[in-house]
Amino acid sequence: MTFGFMGKLLRVDLSQGAVADETIPEKWMRLYLGGAGIASKYLFDEVPAETDPLGPDNKLIFMTGPLTGTSSASASRYSVVAKSPLTGIWGHGNSGGSFGPALKRSGYDGIIIEGHSEKPVYLKISDGNAELYPADELWGKTVPETEDSLKKQSSGKVTIASIGPGGENLVKYAAIMNNRDRAVGRTGMGAVMGAKKLKAIVCSGKDKFELSDPEKFKTVAKRQIELLDESMLKVGFEAFGTNMVADMVNARGGYPTLNWQKGEFDDIEEVNGMAMTEKVLEKGVSCFACPIACGRGTKIKEGKWEGHDGEGPEYESTNMLGAACGVSDLNAITMANYMCNEYGIDTISAGSTIAFALECYDKGILTNEMTQGLELKFGDSDLVIDLVKKIATRDGIGDLLAEGSRIAAQKLGKGADHFAMNVKGMELPAYDPRAAKICGLAYVTANRGGDHITAFIEGPTFIDSPFLLVDDSKIDDPFVANPKETKIVMDLENALTAFDAIGACKFMGLLLPASDYVELINYALGWDMDVDEFRRAGERIYNMARLYNQKAGMDRTHDTLPPRLMKDPLPGGPAEGMVIEEETLEMMKDAYYEYRNWDKATGNPSENKLKELGLQ
């Protein structure tokens, strides 16, 4: 018996319309843990790095972790891995809610989707049985419409992951949505699903997996929740959600405003956590088994969008659809967020690419002729909402913006790349690294491109909250680039990669030590793993993803920041005058590569490191 796992995955060949069960190699479970780890192993073995991300040979791999669906705090997560259409490298998205546990209860640890269907289909899985059904009548529907229709067709309770028009129209940063408002948001996994003509996955069932020592597991899980109940972070998250950090980031001068031209937003009190609570909050929303209701169930209570409701916006969405675009109307930001969820597109990339377009218009790079007479002005809330729809449907200027800021900048030329705020093609999150230089290193070393939750270094820098998951995550002075602190980036990358593999929420890494999770893993799976082996598994997965990127043509020259961050000083606030000089970034990269035992010339894993991790 394989404790903690269902022990099998479902392989779906859309070209043939065939489904088949497959056993997961048991040795992979200990080496790669599950979730993004095992999914990345399948990607590495089965999808050549030169594969067209939107072609039939790319594979879309859904995978849960061994803790997904257990009573461990917030063990709700599942991962989706494929070659990314946005970046052209290793792509990974992760989501909470209840779809991960539902997938497991349907009988499988994961799904590998390959090939391409000629006509739209959806996949239904129930108690270990899987079948494909026509989805012609669902094609073109929004995510809520799709979920409502599929639930009406189902006799019992089902949980659904689906795409909206954004995925159908191959928006390069389209999301896969579950529980209506939860998103596998980053790297364009929804576009891969759309290219395969797979509209949705419907899960139901009551299959169970066995734990090695359920009583001891229950004791540790209960202790976790007791510790969380004593945390001030829990109080903050429940009161204000992720947007609780807005004031702190703005006070540090790192709140991206007007497409990163500034680091302070004058109207922060209109869009911060308190404003959200007062203006649109209805209730806190929890993921499966989570003791912290950090999700925001919201409703617009006045104005032209009165009556619309949904979930969010989160901190990142509030900034990118708000201050980054010069918008301070929280109702408009909330409506734009709803539309991103309904159409199925990533709020970070959508908001950032819109902000890019606004500045290009302001600088004369985008003309009225190109926009078909549409005036792209910072601060126009109606325009932002209009552009979200145009992107999702590829209407007019939306067709260009659906490609993401990197490709749009390449097509526009005229120096537009200076205003395209992405790393390796993925738009940056809402923390300006000029105000916290170690964040710049974390952005360039993240395997999936510009990303804040690979290392989550923003916690120790912007909100002074160390991660208990690693031994040391203290950053002495965010304004100073300290090469010794690059080890913290590496340690967090390894540990949080392991979290993506076991199915845990990364917020728990702020509040709970690695030893707690190793106990849970051992009681769940019957292993004798220690903390070092747990972290080594994360390191193994991280190096494998980097190796995939190397095969796709990446090297240290691609570990770089947008020109603006290295050339344009912040104009005011605590970080006034700050840039990340190129030589500073290169110095930090050298130190980081040395800690990782990667080749400094290429920035890729050395033969010794691969041998040490069993990846030679």
pLDDT single digits (tens) 459-494: 889 988 888 889 899 999 999 999 999 999 999 999
Q: CA 137 to CA 254: how far, in whole Å?
A: 46
Query: Mean pLDDT, to the nearest integer, of 154-174?
Result: 96
The reported pLDDT for the residue numbered 465 is 80
For helices 381-393 and 330-343, give the axis angle rounded to 10 degrees. 10
Would you say residue 1 has pLDDT above 70?
A: no
Residue indicated by tokens 């392991």: 498
Query: Mean pLDDT, to the nearest integer, of 136-163?
Result: 96
Residues 6+ apart with CB under 8 A from 97: 76, 178, 179, 182, 287, 288
The reported pLDDT for the residue numbered 507 is 84
Q: CA 498 to CA 508: how far, in whole Å?
A: 13
Q: Which two tokens stand for residue 216?
A: 């001891």
Is residue 8 within 8 Å of 108, Cβ to Cβ?
yes
Q: What pLDDT, in 10s, does the model give residues 178-223? A: 999 999 999 999 999 999 999 999 999 999 899 999 999 999 999 8
Q: CA 456 to CA 467: how far, in whole Å?
A: 9
Percent of the chain with pLDDT over 70: 100
Would you say residue 327 has pLDDT above 70?
A: yes
Q: Which of 134-138, 158-162, 234-238, 571-575 has the lowest mean pLDDT?
A: 234-238
The reported pLDDT for the residue numbered 236 is 85
Q: Which two tokens stand for residue 21?
A: 């069960």
For helices 486-502 and 437-445, give the axis angle rounded to 10 degrees. 50
Q: What pLDDT, in 10s, does the model give residues 221-269? A: 998 888 888 777 778 888 899 999 999 999 999 999 999 999 999 999 9
Would you say residue 108 has pLDDT above 80?
A: yes
Q: Which two tokens stand for residue 429?
A: 């999150």
User: What domains lie within the chain, and their CATH numbers?
Assistant: 8-204 (3.60.9.10), 241-427 (1.10.569.10), 436-612 (1.10.599.10)
The reported pLDDT for the residue numbered 448 is 97
Residues 6+ apart with CB under 8 A from 27: none
Percent of the chain with pLDDT over 90: 90
pLDDT band at 397 (very low <50, low <70, confident <90, very high): very high
Q: Which of 192-201, 262-271, 352-361, 512-521 has the lowest mean pLDDT?
A: 512-521
Global pTM reads 0.97
pLDDT band at 512 (very low <50, low <70, confident <90, very high): confident
Q: What pLDDT, in 10s, does the model give residues 530-570? A: 999 999 999 999 999 999 999 999 999 999 999 999 999 99
Query: Mean pLDDT, to the nearest integer, of 76-89?
Result: 97
Is residue 603 within 8 Å of 597, Cβ to Cβ?
no
Cα→Cα distances 102→73, 109, 124, 125, 312, Å: 17, 10, 12, 10, 23
